[in-house]
Structure 1
Amino acid sequence: MKIFIYKAYDKAGAKTDGQIEAPNQAAALSELHKKGLLPAEIKEYQESVGHLFGSSKKVSLAELEFLTAELSLLLSSGVRIDKGLDIIRRSKAQPALVRLLTSVSSGISSGQSLSQAMSEHGEVFDPLYINLVELGEASGQLPEIFAKLAEDLKFRRDLQRKIISSLTYPFVILAVCILCIVFIFNFIVPKLSVLFSDPEALPWYTQALLGLSNWMQDYQLLLGFGIVGATFLVLQLFKQPKFVKVWQETLLKIPGLSSSVLTTERIRFNSALAMMLEAGLPIDKALDLAKGNIKNQTLQREMEIVRNKVKHGHSLSPSLKQTSLYPDFYISLLEVGEESGNLAKVFDEIAKRSRQEFETWTEKMTTLIEPLLILLMGGIVGGVVVVMLMSMVAVNDVGF
């Protein structure tokens, strides 16, 4: 079956759009006419191969959050899961999500449970998601489970957006700085170089500036290809497990960055752990699943050790104290939660406090990076201007 995107008018003349599944365009048109719609435009959805930031074939985090929140709302309203999936599929969902829902619906129709049908799409639904859905099916609390999952996905999307937004402005300034350098060495310096009749008699700083300008004009294309090649190489290296492991270990040793990595991982781990404990999972099982939310392999290994200790009867708080993820203040909170039997609430509180820490760190770093990059750009541009002015003054000594 193919997916066709259409724009049409209903019997009242109102505009409507959406997508429809059909074996071909003629069948899609026929189906629209049966629904009383007059098609104005219809075309088959073509999946692109991909682009720099990912592939359109994949269900995005925003789409997964939309699906989870909609399922929570529909199930809370008494709609059956198969009917709910069909409603979302026929709504204005993206084609990649439509294909996913079609596959999940087919699995349910063939006798699979929802968790089993979702488990066949591991690239979209992680083990934590699947296990919580399975728990919700067993306990009859699927709407509540989906509501908690939607909240967690919303936080992850907000975290992703904050990281991107905090890096956007510095990168824009850096790009402007690079463009200024290219413009100066390609247009400004060559025009001023005609003022000097005897380059060898010029001061060393003027010769260096003119030489750099000549080098830029001769090799800037090669330099550009080199930068693109280096970027591609780095992207390939990040697909190698050994390089990723070394990189993650290095991040934990860099002052400033290590605190942000630990805070981010603490948020992921604690929010997942709180959600699972509230759902009723035993602590060893919850630790095993929450460990998968941690991206850093070094911290993952530490949490695996904690899980094994807890499984063999050790207390949770002393075991977590031996990891890099929890400062002493959070350990004291966990000790209180362990004694009172309120661990889920404590883990949720740690996640909230860690979010505030991360937001504060992001604001500080953005505030620090922006003026540094502006100073860098001003220093380079101003340095070139000063050198050129000094060179023009020196012309009186060396002659035209």
Structure 2
Amino acid sequence: MKEQNFSLTDLEMAAAFISNLLNSGIPLDQALVEMSKLQKQHSQFWLDASVHCRTGNSLSSYLKEFWPNTVTGPVEIGEMTGQLPEIFRQIEETISLQLQIRKKLGKLKTPAGMIVAGIGVCVFFLIGVIPSLIKGLPKSDTGKSLIVQLSDAIQNVLHNHQLLLVGTIMAVAGGIYMLFKQPETRHAMLAKLDYVPGLGLAIRSLYYGLWARYMSLMTRCGISPIDAIQRSNNLLLPYMVPSVMAIAENAGRGLAEAVDQDRIEEDDPRQQLPVFIVNAFRLTDSTGDSDKHFQTASQPLVNIGMKVIERFIEVSNGAAIAIAAIFALTPMLMYFLQLADVVKIVGK
């Protein structure tokens, strides 16, 4: 069977469907057959999963080949404890939070889109409006103005180098698409945003908040905090991973000591951990109730990240509108300046 690609939305819906089917008392193998009808784009995947389970194998052993281990680990524990419906419900809620965070981060593209639109309007004026207006002006003894030179240059490219222009646009667009399609590129850009005042706090809060939610989910299923760290660290941006892996590597004397920021070096990556995460590890070490403490740490981190990004987007949108307006109005402003010069010359 060809490997199935499940998007986060697919995983969220699958978890919700399976949880509801199992809570209805439908046996697992039959529930998987029903899944082939509910997710028709993955129909064969679920039919194969049903056959796999009917032959005495666990569902988690099949899902491990296709789904991330942050999901299959809890499923495996859920099978052992008989709490599979509840585990899938929790998985659905956690992925839903992940989708909300992704949607919020996606709004950071809006200001850039406004600026690009402003540039587009500027180019439109230069090639579609300004040439017609300039034709009606008397000849100037001072030679061509900057706006006329820009308009002529763009007209020249459009009329005499069309294939080169189209090829360049397609190559640039294709290159940008392929570049941003790579997770490494997206991660690198988000890492750079960490240096933007205010926004860095939001990025760290959202990613650590989501990671804490998965930590809560896995430890609730009986997975140890150290094992959960190793399973879930890929949810963080690459530059954040050392901060949590250092906890796992130094947990021999206890989790509280591993996150004691007064004892570790200033350049240790654990110094970058949010205080909510540090507190969750400290309380886990003293109470053993890691599920509760990571759940408690997750929500305020996500709330902080969401609020900061909303504020940043509001300010950025205002700045982007101003920049886009400058781009859009500059050609007409330059035209009126030239018109004023022509009027002065005619008046003389």
Q: TM-score range by the shorter chain?
A: 0.7 to 0.9
CA contact (8 A) 1:262 1:325 kept: no
Q: How many Å separate the matches in 1 of 2:187 and 2:98?
A: 23
Q: Which amino acid counterpart does residue 106 of structure 1 have in structure 2?
A: V
Match of 1:71 among 3, 18, 27: 18
Match of 2:45 among 94, 97, 100: 100
SS at match of 2:235: coil
Q: Pick closer, same or farther for the CA change 1:160–1:317 going to 2, 3 Å.
A: farther
Instruction: State whether structure 2 residue 202 is matched by structure 1 residue 260.
Output: yes
CA contact (8 A) 1:317 1:338 kept: no
More deviation in 57-66 or 262-271? Answer: 57-66
Q: Pick closer, same or farther for the CA change 1:245–1:270 going to 2, 3 Å.
A: closer
> In structure 2, what is the equivalent of residue 112 of structure 1?
57
Q: Pick closer, same or farther for the CA change 1:241–1:369 going to 2, 3 Å.
A: closer
> In structure 1, what is the equivalent of residue 335 of structure 2?
388
Identical aligned residues as a percent:
19
**Unpaired stretches in structure 2, ≥5 consecutive residues:** 262-268
> In structure 1, what is the equivalent of residue 151 of structure 2?
213
When the two structures are aligned, how many residues end up with a matched partner? Answer: 334
Q: How many Å separate the matches in 1 of 2:19 and 2:208?
A: 27
What is the CA distance between 1:237 and its match in structure 2? 4.3
Q: Pick closer, same or farther for the CA change 1:338–1:328 going to 2, 3 Å.
A: same
Q: Which amino acid counterpart does residue 340 of structure 2 have in structure 1?
A: V
SS at match of 1:201: coil
What is the CA distance between 1:280 and its match in structure 2? 1.5
What is the CA distance between 1:77 and its match in structure 2? 2.5
Q: Which has a greater percent of helix?
A: 2
Q: Pick closer, same or farther for the CA change 1:320–1:83 going to 2, 3 Å.
A: farther
Q: How many Å separate the matches in 2 of 1:224 and 1:354?
A: 46
SS at match of 1:339: helix
SS at match of 2:145: helix
Instruction: State whether structure 2 residue 242 is matched by structure 1 residue 301.
Output: yes
Question: Equivalences for 1:302-321 in 2 at 5 Å?
Answer: 302-310=243-251, 312-316=252-256, 318-319=258-259, 321=261
TM-score by length of 2: 0.84
CA contact (8 A) 2:119 2:328 kept: no
Q: How many Å separate the matches in 2 of 1:245 and 1:167?
A: 14
More deviation in 374-383 or 183-192? Answer: 374-383
Match of 2:142 among 182, 185, 201: 201
TM-score by length of 1: 0.74
Q: Which has a greater percent of strand?
A: 1
CA contact (8 A) 2:119 2:327 kept: no
Q: Pick closer, same or farther for the CA change 1:155–1:325 going to 2, 3 Å.
A: farther
Instruction: State whether structure 2 residue 120 is matched by structure 1 residue 153.
Output: no
Instruction: State whether structure 2 residue 288 is matched by structure 1 residue 341.
Output: yes
Q: Which amino acid counterpart does residue 100 of structure 1 have in structure 2?
A: F
**Unpaired stretches in structure 1, ≥5 consecutive residues:** 2-56
Task: Summarize deviations over 1:88-144 as a string: whole Å, max 9, x none.
Answer: 2224x2x322132122123223432101111222xxx10121111111111111112
SS at match of 1:275: helix
Q: How many Å separate the matches in 2 of 1:384 and 1:257?
A: 34
SS at match of 1:268: helix
What is the CA distance between 1:85 and its match in structure 2? 1.0
CA contact (8 A) 1:200 1:207 kept: no
Q: Pick closer, same or farther for the CA change 1:66–1:324 going to 2, 3 Å.
A: farther
CA contact (8 A) 1:270 1:347 kept: yes
Q: How many Å separate the matches in 1 of 2:335 and 2:255?
A: 70
Q: Which amino acid counterpart does residue 280 of structure 1 have in structure 2?
A: G
Match of 2:81 among 139, 157, 167: 139
CA contact (8 A) 2:18 2:85 kept: yes
Q: How many Å separate the matches in 2 of 1:281 and 1:174?
A: 48
CA contact (8 A) 2:180 2:186 kept: yes
CA contact (8 A) 2:64 2:72 kept: yes
Q: Pick closer, same or farther for the CA change 1:118–1:331 going to 2, 3 Å.
A: closer
Q: How many Å separate the matches in 2 of 1:309 and 1:223?
A: 57
Q: How many Å separate the matches in 2 of 1:66 and 1:249?
A: 30
Instruction: State whether structure 2 residue 324 is matched by structure 1 residue 377.
Output: yes
Higher RCO, Cα 8 Å, sep 6+: 2
Q: Pick closer, same or farther for the CA change 1:241–1:349 going to 2, 3 Å.
A: closer
Q: Pick closer, same or farther for the CA change 1:302–1:364 going to 2, 3 Å.
A: same
CA contact (8 A) 2:199 2:312 kept: no
CA contact (8 A) 1:71 1:143 kept: yes
Q: How many Å separate the matches in 1 of 2:314 and 2:10?
A: 32
Q: Pick closer, same or farther for the CA change 1:233–1:382 going to 2, 3 Å.
A: closer
CA contact (8 A) 2:49 2:62 kept: yes
Q: Which amino acid counterpart does residue 24 of structure 2 have in structure 1?
A: S
Q: How many Å separate the matches in 2 of 1:333 and 1:111?
A: 39
Instruction: State whether structure 2 residue 299 is matched by structure 1 residue 352.
Output: yes
Q: Pick closer, same or farther for the CA change 1:186–1:112 going to 2, 3 Å.
A: same
Q: Pick closer, same or farther for the CA change 1:144–1:330 going to 2, 3 Å.
A: same
CA contact (8 A) 1:189 1:213 kept: yes
CA contact (8 A) 1:85 1:101 kept: yes
CA contact (8 A) 2:276 2:301 kept: no
SS at match of 2:6: coil
